[in-house]
Amino acid sequence: MAAIVSAKLLEWYDAHARDLPWRARPGAPAPDPYRVWLSEVMLQQTTVAAVKPYFDAFTTRWPTVEDLAAAPEEDVMAAWAGLGYYSRARNLVKAARAVAVLGAFPDTEEGLRELPGLGAYTAAAVAAIAFGRRAVVVDANVERVVARLFAIREPLPSARKAIRTCADTITPEERAGDFAQAMMDLGSSICTSRDPKCLLCPLANECKGRAEGDPSLLPAKAPKKAKPLRKGTAFWIENDGAVWLVTREGQGMLGGMRALPDDGWSARGDGDEVAPLIGEWEAAGVVRHTFTHFALELSVRRYAGAQPPIGTGEWWPLDRLEDAGLPTLFAKAARLATA
């Protein structure tokens, strides 16, 4: 079965591979490891459509890993704003600087795992796609394909060990990078989470999930737990065409990002409503945002007095607010405050 699956899938990929800015076409020389690594970091829990403009902006501004390594971290964080999961951006800078010291990307999974922020998946993907190493590359799309192909009915996340074992059995020695990308493409375009297009699938005859019934039921997932709700307050302080911004602590929620002052909701759960200035505040409304582990209701208050802020921060021109690189939560709050 393994040889049949890999042969059929690679034949399908040669005809149907997605044209993506970080990829090489089937049969072409391997892409630059920098572009593979950057795309894989950006694509973690993010869609291809969302990543494309960020990838283009990053590779235009920092075309090599050495350029990225030399960039100030605050510039990278600002350019990342809106992609979410900001620890990825901090690790991106750390890893780029580590590669610059090494002189090149390591070309094995083991070596890549030594770089900051590179977990098992990213290291395997870069090793296979950029360096042609045989590596078992399993993302959410591959999980779905393999769970259906082998009819693995154990629910996620406990099924991941069995899925990886089965994925290993069908990963070929040759063209491992193309095979990994073919599995990703199959999962994103054919073996989709809802309404899989089995009649178009090159692996339909080998698929045990299809043979046993409804493959859309796989992979099974454990019931989701309800996310807790936190509440907090952000403060909009405006003066002479500028707004007061702070830089959040380097570690923790949205660390290292420019933001509006707030009441500490991210550190303590619910905020304590302590305003940064004594004076009149008016309610501007509430923004809602969902993080990985909780949901947030953030009240936005505007300052109506003349007292200057106390503490570390900067006045940022309102007509250049988009250049501040506010994370999505605070960009929502800014839009609400200026509506």
Query: Any idea what the Cα angle at residue 85 is, between residues 80 and 91, rounded to 5°?
Result: 70
| Cα(216)–Cα(98) distance, integer angstroms | 43
State the angle between helix axes of 160-170 and 140-149 in degrees (0 to 180), rounded to the nearest 10: 80
Count CB neighbours of 222 within 10 A.
10
Would you call 249 a catalytic residue per the annotation?
Answer: no
Please enumerate in sequence order all residues whose Cβ is within 8 A of that of 110, keeping only pairs 6 or more positions apart, or say none: 123
Q: Rounded to an integer, what distance in angstroms lies between the CA atom of residue 93 and that of residue 75? A: 10
Kindly write down the DSSP assignment for every residue of 125-165, as one continuous string. Answer: HHHHHHH--------HHHHHHHHHHTT--SPBTTTHHHHHH
The residues pairing with 218 across neighbouring beta strands, listed in sequence order, are none
Catalytic entry in 40, 109, 143, 206: 40
Q: Any idea of the CA torsion for 268, 272, 277, 279, to the nearest 10 degrees?
A: 160
Which residues are designated catalytic?
Answer: 40
